[in-house]
């Protein structure tokens, strides 16, 4: 999964927002940065480029992601860590960042409480979360193609998890419950560019938990071909583009 995630999903979906988030981080002038849910290191690399004087500790719960990320971006200090039980001392970082990871935390207030604990008193928590699935051109196209190809019931993963935490009021309430104060919430729409609709389909089918439901089927190859064709019919041939919307949040203790 890390290889498919890095090869097919990162370029069009995660790298544009990583550049945006890293620029926002640089404006804060951090010296010590903790990244949560770092994945294969898209934001990690952008941070180290934007803030070359900062020390960056990159963490992820998934050991395979940590292995892949540390090989790809060795300038950071990589650790396997649970965001709800961080292995760091109080007040260790003046910036905690997280790109599209908070949606996966089982207990967000608990994770945010840990963020508050490891932040310095003047520290900042900078993170983003996807908007509704309909606001992600590639994700919406994939889910539609998947549902058309699996009329008996397609996995709801994209809508339920990555795009299931899109209400700023809910996010604000979770931050407040953890003792953090929301400073800013900005909706950002960026253009994603993928090498082809087939690459997008492959990314979602093999680089996300959707892969488990698809690979368990006897007709997995035929299903992948059907989804790819439907996405090509919708997005076009050759390089494809689509708008993607997220909300960027900044909070402090």
Q: Write the pLDDT tens digit of every residue in 88-137.
A: 999 999 999 999 999 999 999 999 999 999 999 999 999 999 999 999 99
Q: What is the CATH number of the domain that holds 213?
A: 3.40.50.150
In the numeric block, the tokens 């097919």 are attached to: 8
- 141 exposed, middle or buried (CB, 10 Å; 0-12, 13-18, 19+)? buried
pLDDT in tens, 42-80: 999 999 999 999 999 999 999 999 999 999 999 999 999
Q: Is the pLDDT of residue 1 over 80?
A: no
Q: Is the pLDDT of residue 2 over 90?
A: no
Pairwise CA distance, residues 6 & 14, whole Å:
9
Pairwise CA distance, residues 216 & 195, whole Å:
27
Mean pLDDT over 170-178 rounds to 98
Q: Interior CA angle at 169 toward 165 and 171, to 5°?
A: 45
Mean pLDDT, all residues of the chain: 96
Range of the domain at 221: 2-252
Spatial contact of 163 and 108, defined as CB atoms under 8 Å apart = no
Pairwise CA distance, residues 202 & 224, whole Å:
8
Pairwise CA distance, residues 32 & 119, whole Å:
10
Q: Is the pLDDT of residue 145 over 90?
A: yes
What is the per-residue pLDDT for 16? Answer: 97
How many domains does the structure of the chain reveal?
A: 1
From residue 134, how far is each of 47, 178, 181, 240, 243 by CA, in Å? 29, 30, 29, 17, 10
What is the per-residue pLDDT for 190? Answer: 98
In the numeric block, the tokens 């082809």 are attached to: 196
Q: Is the pLDDT of residue 216 over 80?
A: yes
């Amino acid at each position: 999964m890390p290889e498919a995630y890095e090869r097919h999903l990162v370029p069009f979906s995660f790298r544009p927002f990583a550049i945006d988030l890293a620029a926002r981080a640089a404006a804060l002038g951090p010296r010590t940065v903790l990244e949560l849910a770092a994945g294969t290191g898209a934001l990690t690399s952008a941070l180290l480029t934007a803030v070359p004087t900062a020390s960056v500790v990159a963490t992820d719960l998934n050991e395979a992601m940590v292995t892949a990320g540390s090989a790809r971006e060795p300038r950071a200090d990589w650790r396997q860590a649970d965001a709800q039980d961080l292995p760091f001392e109080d007040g260790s970082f003046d910036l905690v960042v997280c790109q599209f990871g908070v949606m996966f935390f089982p207990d967000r207030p608990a994770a945010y409480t840990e963020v508050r604990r490891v932040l310095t008193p003047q520290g900042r928590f900078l993170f983003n979360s996807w908007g509704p699935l309909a606001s992600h051109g590639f994700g919406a196209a994939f889910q539609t193609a998947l549902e058309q190809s699996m009329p008996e019931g397609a996995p709801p993963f994209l809508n339920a998890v990555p795009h299931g935490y899109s209400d700023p009021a809910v996010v604000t309430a979770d931050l407040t419950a953890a003792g953090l104060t929301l400073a800013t919430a900005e909706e950002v729409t960026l253009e994603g560019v993928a090498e082809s609709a087939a690459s997008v389909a492959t990314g979602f089918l093999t680089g996300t938990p959707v892969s488990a439901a698809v690979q368990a089927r006897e007709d997995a190859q035929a299903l992948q071909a059907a989804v790819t064709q439907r996405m090509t019919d919708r997005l076009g041939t050759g390089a494809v583009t689509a708008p993607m919307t997220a909300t960027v949040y900044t909070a402090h203790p």
